Structure 1
Amino acid sequence: MSDQSAVRMELVIYLLGLQGFQVSISFGVSDMAQTLFFADLPQSTYLALNSGILNLSEPLLLDSGQILHKPRLAWRRLGEPHLPAIFILGGISAGRYAWCTEQSPTPGWWQDQIGPGNALDPQKYQLLSFDFLGSSGNSEGPHNSRLSGPDFPAITTRDQARAIAALLKALGIQKLESMIGASYGGMVTLAFAQHFSEYLKKALVICAADRPAPLATAWRHVQREIVSMALKQGDPEAGLRLARELAVTTYRSELEFSQRFDSGLGSAGCLPYLKHQGQSFAKRFDPYSYLCLSTSIDTHRIEAEAIPLRVDLLGYTSDLLVPAPQLKALHTRLPKPGNLTLLNSPYGHDAFLKENLQTTQTIKNHLERKHD
């Protein structure tokens, strides 16, 4: 039987205690998206959980002019599909696992904001997330593509927005209640709001702006050079470790480091922390994915004046990567500016992951406000 006419279905059912069971189905049909779909039936704490890998039926034309042929998109949904939809996006190392479940108890990257009774409540909304193109997740990237390693094409934030639009179409979602993006995900949210506004009612952008700050680009350039040199020397993991150590110093603030660590090179200083961050990151991230997404940050540029919907902004005065004056300037150029919230925190760019009460209130205010 040919690949075009083949229809393949696999059904695996197994008990999960007394709570329910899990079903995984894969199918492929000519002229339609090939989807690997997992459906976790409702458990005692969470509502319906769906996730899968979608192979787009059409090529994805990138801003570079290159083409990804039927690329993979790995996605996840928490909540019933009839509920209003919210798409959630984080930094370059954050993928579709924004929350944990009883089946996957490892905390998600935004666990404190997601769950029954939290700001992002799956009893009120269906919550969507995906692995970025070019990432180390299960979407199309340097580690799993026919264009592997250094041959993988450049990916822009608008390319990520194109992929999300294709995913929404495949899932039958015509309009998002909101897209909430932080860090790199905030850049993608702005690109989506400009180029695919027909899918979106409103947006919340956290620690991100319409273009990268020059000093932040300089820091990321050094990080990419470290990884590139390490690749040439045959030790990419060492390059990733060092690049991540440097990156962490830009994610936080001088105030936090001075309060948290002793000065000097001793065990109570900052070096053990940096080494731990570098080692854990290098074990789970592909070096070419790092280069791809870091470059994507520094090629990001959107036209704020072309965004026709309400955008709320959240930033922190200690953020070294997205300075407060940059957010203020973006706010003035938006045709329908929402709230600009600038908060104090010692955690710098990572404050949206650390300042849970502040972030929760901002998300709640955003979702409760009627869109224009």
Structure 2
Amino acid sequence: MSIPKTVGWLARSIPRASRKTNPRVRHIPLPQPSRCLHNQTKKSAQAAPQPRQEPAFSGSSNPQLSFPCLDNAEDRTRELTGRRSLSGPEPTYTTGEHQTFHSAEPLLLDWGGVLPSFDIAWEAWGTLNADKSNAILLHTGLSASSHAHSTEANKKPGWWEKFIGPGAPLDTNKYFVICTNVLGGCYGSTGPSSRDPISGKIYATSFPILTLSDMVRAQFRLMDFMGIDKLYASVGCSMGGMQSLALGILDTERVGRIVSVSGCARSHPYSIAMRHTQRQVLMNDPAWSQTRGNFYETMPPHQGMKLARQIATITYRSGPEWEKRFGRARADPSKPPALCPDFLIETYLDHAGEKWCLEYDANSLLYISKAMDLFDLGRTLQDATAQRRRDNVGRLGDQLQRQSLDEMCSLTLPEQPYEEQESSADIMAAASKPGGQPMSSGPPPEDLVKGLAPLRDVPTLVLGVASDILFPAWQQREIAETLRKGGNRSVTHVELGEDRSLFGHDTFLLDLEGVGGEIHQFLG
């Protein structure tokens, strides 16, 4: 078996003297058994790890296993503790130079919270024409910044570098492309790591619950500031694809075309479950749980963030691509198996979590992922949200007005756990009856048809990927079918099969020909 070249990063962080030559792989040597965690005392989340104890091997039939993955986590905690004692809170979330729009007017959020003021980080490429009719608003995924493409002020390649530029899918010879860091983020826009202008303290978990529609309302403020009454197009992938649809629903008159790639019209149980798991892993990191998210002047929950990112990475890629890249290869077949990262896929996930755990605010991950879970463009939720906003609009008159404690903390856990109302066997039997269909392939629900009806006159491109397990292709089919049932005759639906893309959900970041080509053709 040939080992992929993509694992070159595995060796870059290893001291040169410790590497062994192997014609097939680059590997990470396991530490000697003297670095173990046996019989260590429980440590505070804010205290530096205690010196590791020497293992006692006498009387044992086998030596104690070594755990370099835990050693590394303790080393990072110790390092951060030392840094904080000298330089104050860490880390700093930033992506380089960008523009900042400040709104001094308060913003009412869908669930009753109020931001007295807020900032939106943004960057742009191309030239806005005289009548300001060529603007494209690019919406990001969960953790991306406004830096989608390099600029004179920040020459670092952006997260969609090849998709933006002269002759690119978002052609800057034609269009003025704007990208923002979402409200709730940590790359220049107001979020949990920002300071509350009323108290002067970091919001942390006093930041109010927000929705994807709240993020779009903040973007509308930026459009107003720029004098852009109507976008040529709203373009987004993943969470951005959800925002792109939400923008059209909030104000159909402000957008000429919609592009939604690997998104959905309502969050479904699988993606909610995966994001919930990530949040639980993060919130149970002692650095988060012992401070209830107010960790900014102590220790960031880097271990929880690392594990949360590993879970997310599984949903972003996986599938046939990983079989081709990694197969069942181990990092160093000459070594005995280990409980720490051992297979190449394990070391890949470990690396993905390690490099990211201090680059993104933990609370932004919690708030934005929850906003994704709450997303539903069905008419029932839209009506309930509109009524709630009417009930709460008075809070804008007094920025100091706060929700009562009962309103803010009304969630209680049920005394009895959830019990299945319908057995799995009953569900399978219903699907196997003549004419029976799985829920995912049935007709779109009427509530969703009514909810998307405002887009009946907006040309829309909906693109999905067969290898995507986080936003499966049937969810994009649901969007297209719902729009068509609601009367939209200008729906373009494209599904990239595994023969065209093996990259799962991350296809929108990687497939310039497939995803980029379809967007370029649709925009004209």
Aligned to 1:358: 514
Query: Which residue in 2 is equivalent to 1:19?
Result: none
SS in 2 for 1:244: helix
Contact 1:181–1:205, Cα closer than 8 Å, also in 2:
yes
Inter-partner Cα distance in structure 2 for 1:160 and 1:213: 20
Shift in Å, 1:232? 1.3
Task: Identify the range of structure 1 (285-294 vs 261-270) with the bigger mean alpha-carbon deviation.
Answer: 261-270
Q: 1:156 aligns with which of 205, 211, 230?
A: 211
Mapping of residues 56-95 of structure 1, within 5 Å = 56-82=103-129, 84-95=134-145
Secondary structure at the counterpart of residue 283 of structure 1: coil
Counterpart for residue 278 of structure 1: 353
Alignment of 1:217 with 2:272, yes or no, is: yes
Residues 153-207 of structure 1: CA distance to partner in whole angstroms, max 9, x if unpaired?
1110110111111110011111110011001111111110101211100110000
In 2, Cα distance between equivalents of 1:169 and 1:132 = 17
For the residues of structure 1 that align with 2:251 and 2:355, how far apart are their CA atoms?
A: 36
* Structure-2 residue corresponding to 1:349: 505
Residue of structure 2 in register with 1:30 after alignment: none
**RCO higher in 1 or 2 (8 Å CA, sep ≥ 6)?**
2
8 Å Cα contact 1:161/1:196 also seen in 2: no
Question: Is 2:177 the counterpart of 1:122?
Answer: no
Task: Give distance in 2, aligned partners of 1:232 and 1:293.
Answer: 19
Q: Residue 358 of structure 2 aligns to a residue in which SS?
A: helix
Q: Distance in 2 between matches of 1:103 and 1:61?
A: 33
Instruction: Please report the TM-score for the alignment, with normalisation by the length of structure 2.
Output: 0.59
Structure 1 counterpart of 2:493: 340
Tell me the equivalent position of 1:256: 321
Whichever residue aligns with residue 126 of structure 2, its letter is G
Residues 57-84 of structure 1: CA deviation (Å, up to 9, x unaligned): 3111000111111211111111222261
Question: 2:141 touches 2:240 (CA, 8 Å); kept in 1?
Answer: yes
Q: Is the 8 A contact 2:234 2:259 kept in 1?
A: yes
For residues 163 and 287 of structure 1, the distance between their equivalents in structure 2, rounded to whole angstroms, comes to 22
Deviation at 1:150, TM superposition (A): 0.9
| Matched-pair contact (CA < 8 Å) for 2:163–2:169 | yes
Residue aligned with 2:165, SS: coil
Per the TM alignment, residue 266 of structure 1 is displaced from its structure 2 partner at its CA by: 2.9
- Give the structure 1 partner of residue 301 of structure 2: 236
SS at match of 2:99: strand
Match of 2:479 in 1: 330
Q: Which shows bigger deviation, 264-273 or 238-247? A: 264-273
Percent identity at matched positions?
32
Q: CA deviation at 1:118?
A: 1.2
Asked if 1:266 is matched to 2:266, the reply is no
Give the match's secondary structure for 2:224.
helix
Match of 2:464 among 301, 311, 315: 315
Matches within 5 A, 1:6-155: 51-82=98-129, 84-146=134-196, 148-155=203-210
Please provide the CA RMSD for this pair.
Answer: 1.7
Deviation at residue 235 of structure 1 after TM alignment = 5.3
Q: Give the structure-1-normalised TM-score.
A: 0.82
CA positional deviation for 1:102:
4.2
1:203-249 superposed Cα distances (whole Å, 9 cap, x missing partner) = 10000011112111111110000111111156511111100011100
Structure 1 residues 187-196 or 334-343, which shifts more? 334-343
AA partner of residue 280 (structure 1): K
Q: Which amino acid aligns with 2:356?
A: F
The answer to whether the 8 A contact 2:140-2:180 is kept is no
Q: State how far apart, in whole Å, the 2-side matches of 1:333 and 1:351 are.
A: 24
The amino acid across from 1:100 in the alignment is: S
Q: Kindly provide the amino acid, as one letter, of the partner of residue 356 in structure 1.
A: L
Deviation of residue 313 (structure 1)? Answer: 0.2
Whether the aligned pair in 1 keeps the contact of 2:168 and 2:520 (CA below 8 Å) is: no
Q: Secondary structure at the match of 1:168?
A: helix
Structure having the higher Rg = 2
Match in the other structure for 1:297? 372
Structure 1 residue matching 2:277: 3-state secondary structure: helix
**Residue aligned with 2:344, SS:** coil
**Aligned amino acid, residue 118 of structure 1:** A
Counterpart of 2:301, as a letter, is P
What is the identity, as a one-letter code, of the residue corresponding to 1:343?
A: L
Aligned to 1:26: none
More deviation, 106-115/265-274: 265-274
Structure 2 counterpart of 1:342, one-letter code? E
Distance 1:305 1:265 in 2: 52
Measured in 1, the distance between the counterparts of 2:183 and 2:152 equals 27
In the alignment, structure 2 segments of 5+ residues that lack a partner are 1-96, 197-201, 291-298, 333-342, 378-450
Please give the alpha-carbon distance, in whole angstroms, between the structure 1 residues aligned to 2:347 and 2:462.
34
Q: Residue 11 of structure 1 corresponds to which residue in structure 2?
A: none
Give, as a single letter, the amino acid of the residue that structure 1 aligns with 2:478: A
Partner of 1:21: none
Supply the distance in 1 between the matched residues of 2:154 and 2:124 (Cα, whole angstroms): 14
Q: Is the 8 A contact 1:227 1:239 kept in 2?
A: yes
Q: 2: CA distance between counterparts of 1:195 and 1:341?
A: 25
